[in-house]
Structure formats: C-alpha cells, structure tokens
Amino acid sequence: MVGISTLLRYFETELDYSISVARMTQNVPRDLLYYAVLDLVHLLRILYLVQAYLQQGQIVDKQILDIIWRTFSYGRLTFLHWNKGKEMEPNNWDSWWNSSCSENSRPDPMSVHVGDVVVMKDPKNSAKFLIRRLAAIEGDEMASKDAVDEPFVLEEDQCWVLADNDKLKPKQAYDSRIFGPVTMTSIVGRAIYCVRNDVDHGPVKNSEYSTTKDSPVLEFELDVDEILKNRKA
C-alpha cells in the first residue's frame, strides 16, 4: 500500500510536469496542453480532498487510493520502452529489456543529470530511440584520449551520451563518440526500472538526485506484471 507521504511526493512530481508542459505553449499540440491543465486541476482537487480528510482525522490509505483512482487514474508519468542490444551491459542490462521511463516534457540540466540513463531520439533517425547514459552537459569541457583531437566545450542545450558497455568499440556502442553532441531536447525520458523476466528486475542506477525524485513515481505507477504482460503480447 502506498503511503500518504509517497503520494504527496508523487503529486508534486506530477505538478512539476504539468507546469513544465504548460510553459511550452508555443511548442506543444493544443490537446497536450489541455491534458496538462486538466492534470493540474485534478491535482488541486486531490490535494484539497486529502487536506480535508486529514483535518477531519478520517483518512486512511484505502480512501486515498480511491480518491486517486476516481480522479487521476488516466494520467501516468511513465511509459514502457523495449530495447534490443548490448550497449548498456554489464550494468544489469540484457539483450532484451523493458524499461519504465519517467517522462521529461522539456529536458534541461535541472531535470536530467549526469549519470542518468536516458531515452533519446536517435540523432540519425528521429523515428527510433536509444538508451544511453548522460555523461556531460552544457558547459562541460570534452577532451579526447587522441592527442590529435582538440578539446571543446559543450554549448547551450548540448549533452554527451555514452553506452555503458566499455567492451564495445565506439562504432558498436553508437554513442556521442560516433554522432557527437546531441541536444537536450532529443531526450524524451529517463529509464527508471528494468525488467528482464519475472524474477530478474529492479531500479535503474541513475544519479542520486534523480533516484530520489523518481522513487514516488516508481512506488505509485510500477506494475511488473503489466510490463511482463505487455512484453509477451
């Protein structure tokens, strides 16, 4: 059963996401903005109800969950992503894995951090997605082991991503060593949970800040059985 403090932290994360989307009014479809505002209205309603119950001393976990699912069950902060490849081994990855991903409406150095495993658009094919680890962000100086390559500084909105598998050659790893810096806006989410099978699954190792930020999302939305069912389907 999800506790009250976890639910409030989850609502805070949902609110941050809704506000972030609302700030993108020039860049998002009208229907997405509509649902972002609707999320905000539902959040305010839920928080009001929770506060009222707390003041009356009549609230229990089951009542909170009933309120949530009646007013909020349609919206999620996570989505499933299936990935094939060995680029992220050996850090608890397999050739096939499912990841519950926390959405980022407008990624920037304040919402994703160095050390996070991110889902991003393939810079050479925007219809495809890659899973890589964020290694550096705007303002960081990049230096090559090859003396021929001159150091450079990542510009605004740029980041550097790498595969975890250091046994692969750069061409096989297919990361920033091949396609160079990518824009932060190419990041669509952060991988927060990995499932290989019904007994081998667990949280993705991200930065300390992101792990803390995503913990209520995992507690509230994670459903391993649903992930396994979708994988089999």
Q: What is residue 32's three-state secondary structure? A: helix
The Cα diameter of the chain in Å comes to 70
Compute φ and ψ for 142, nearest 5 degrees. -105, 130
Element (H, E) at 214: helix 208-221
Let me know if 132 is a catalytic residue: yes
Task: Find the catalytic residue in 87, 133, 190, 221.
Answer: 87
Hey, which residues does 172 pair with through a beta bridge? none
Alpha carbons 128 and 59: distance in angstroms, whole number: 46
Q: Do 99 and 118 touch, CB atoms closer than 8 A?
A: no
Let me know if 196 is a catalytic residue: no
Distance of CA 108 to the CA centre of its chain: 13
Nearest to 174 by CA among 84, 46, 107, 66: 84
Task: Find the catalytic residue in 132, 133, 190, 221.
Answer: 132
Strands 141-142 and 96-103, bridge-based pairing: unpaired
Compute φ and ψ for 184, nearest 5 degrees. -60, -30
Q: Do 190 and 116 touch, CB atoms closer than 8 A?
A: yes
How far is the first Cα of the chain from the last one, in angstroms, to the nearest whole number? Answer: 28
Catalytically active residues, by annotation: 87, 132
